[in-house]
Amino acid sequence: MKTRNILLAIVAVAALSCKKEDIKVKADNKLADLPLGGNPVPELDVTQFAKNIENYLNTRVSGYGYTISHNGTIFYLDNGGGGWARKQSDPPAKAHGATVRQGTASVTKYITALTTVATLEKYNISLDEKLYKYLPTNWKPSGLFKMLSFKNLLAHETGLINYGREFSDLKLTVEGPVQIGELIDSTRDYDNINYDLAAIIIPYVSAKHGFPADYQVLKGLEKNPNELYKQLASRFIGQARVYVFKPAGINQWQVMDWYTWDNNGIIDASQGTLGYTTVYGNEKGSEKGDSRPNGGAGGLYCSAFEMAKIQLAAAQGKIVSAANYKRMREQRLGFDGIYPGKHGKYYWKNGGANRHETIVADFGPTQVAVFTNSRTSDIGNGLDVLGKAYDDAWEVKK
């Protein structure tokens, strides 16, 4: 007993003599690497996690960029990527990497969900609020549509029928029949229609509760559906900039967009990151489409670095409340799935379009965004690849 007390005293003195940042304390209050009557506790090696991502993607995609945030710190190796954003066959050639922007496909739904929840919180509105209160006033929602909440919409639990993306199509979805079995059973049926609707509903929430004069402007535009649709699309992008990009600390939050852009604003799609069908071929790349007419379901153009900053800000409660962010993850609002990892539950959202493959994941203290511009790997296949890369990066420090 005396010997053990002496040992504890030595450990305590040694700990106090170290700088605070040199001591890693685990959740069970043991000093890392100093097992006092127990086994050493493993921890994430962020460098190894980055290497695992790179080792998988090198030779499998034409180009990629990634960024990790861990315990509040942004991290990537070298330029945070590899390969080409623009191949030699598409001059000027450009290397891919963490800060290179590209289309994010359906990962955009994560942004739409954050924008929706942040807007609701701004006006103290619950996710369980009914949607029909925030539609164009000349639409006549069906009785079944009136049962739907924001939570149902973001979770793809609506049973709504997708007739297309024109404004008249969305109106038909709202006023027409629903798949009643899915609605009653809260069946998750992934469909872009849910997030297309979110993009026109969110501006009505903001106008109705925060800007009465603007609400009257929207009501006046209802006689001209095409112009109303344009105005709602513009307002949706504006709300994403203010409620998501700005609090995330994105330097160019005021110009971040759903079309190709650089630090000064919109650029021609031919000058942006292109999508490819092969890893090493010399084919011409495909250009990103313009998703500004309705960006709820996809189309945001940004870098993995910028997306990781958004993920970190969301995890830190800077965009939405901790309670609602937890609800987003657990109920898959803006997320696709929950992966049972070796170190807890991992949450993910993927996307694929225009020869681009993207995925974001939240591991708890760690978030990651990985973007590629060829759909030639399995990186976006849930967390089969990325989850393993994360789990394999844990080790007991010597």
Query: How far is it, in rounded angstroms, from Cα 298 to Cα 259?
Result: 11
What gap in Å lies between CA 85 and CA 101, rounded to an integer?
Answer: 9
Q: Which two tokens stand for residue 333?
A: 């609002």
Task: Find, among 235, 225, 172, the residue nearest to 202 by Cα.
Answer: 235
- Asked, for residue 249, whether it belongs to a domain, the answer is no
Same-domain check for residues 97 and 27: no
Query: For residue 390, which of 344, 324, 338 has the smallest C-alpha distance?
Result: 344
Nearest CA-CA partner of 306 in 255, 364, 234? 255
Tokens of 15: 């700990």
Q: Per mean pLDDT, which range of 8-12, 65-69, 321-325, 364-368 is the poorest?
A: 8-12
Judged against a pLDDT cut of 80, whether residue 72 lies above it is answered with yes
Co-location of 266 and 373 in the same domain? yes
Q: Closest Cα to residue 203, out of 172, 169, 234?
A: 234
With cut-offs at 50, 70 and 90, classify the pLDDT of residue 57. very high
Q: Answer yes or no: do 175 and 132 share one domain.
A: yes
The answer on 380 and 271 residing in a single domain is yes
189 within a domain of the structure (yes/no): yes
Last residue of a domain, one of 209, 243, 277: 243
Domain housing 140: 112-243
pLDDT at 396: 86
Does residue 339 belong to any structural domain of this protein? yes
The answer to which of 104-113, 177-186, 231-240, 269-278 has the lowest mean pLDDT is: 177-186
- 315 plus 371 within the same structural domain: yes
Are residues 198 and 262 part of one domain? no
pLDDT band for 38, please (50, 70, 90 cuts).
low
Residue 68 lies in a domain: yes
Same domain, 231 and 296: no
Number of domains observed in the structure of the chain: 3
Supply 365's token pair: 């203290």
pLDDT digits (tens, 9 = 90+) for 229-285: 999 999 999 999 999 999 999 999 999 999 999 999 999 999 999 999 999 999 999
In a domain? residue 248:
no
Domain assignment present for residue 287? The answer is yes
Give the Cα separation of 125 and 82 in Å (integer).
44
**261 and 226, same structural domain?**
no
Q: Measured between alpha carbons, how far is 117 from 63 in angstroms, rounded to an integer?
A: 33
pLDDT at 398: 67
Rounded Cα distance, 81 and 216, in Å: 48
- The answer to whether 225 touches 168, Cβ cutoff 8 Å, is yes
Of the pLDDT bands very low, low, confident and very high (cuts 50, 70, 90), residue 39 is confident
Angstrom distance (rounded) from CA 187 to CA 6:
61
Indicate if the pLDDT at residue 14 is higher than 70: no
Distances (CA, A) of 86 to 213, 279, 288: 46, 12, 13
Question: Where a domain ends, among 219, 243, 267?
Answer: 243
Give yes or no: residues 305 and 259 share one domain: yes
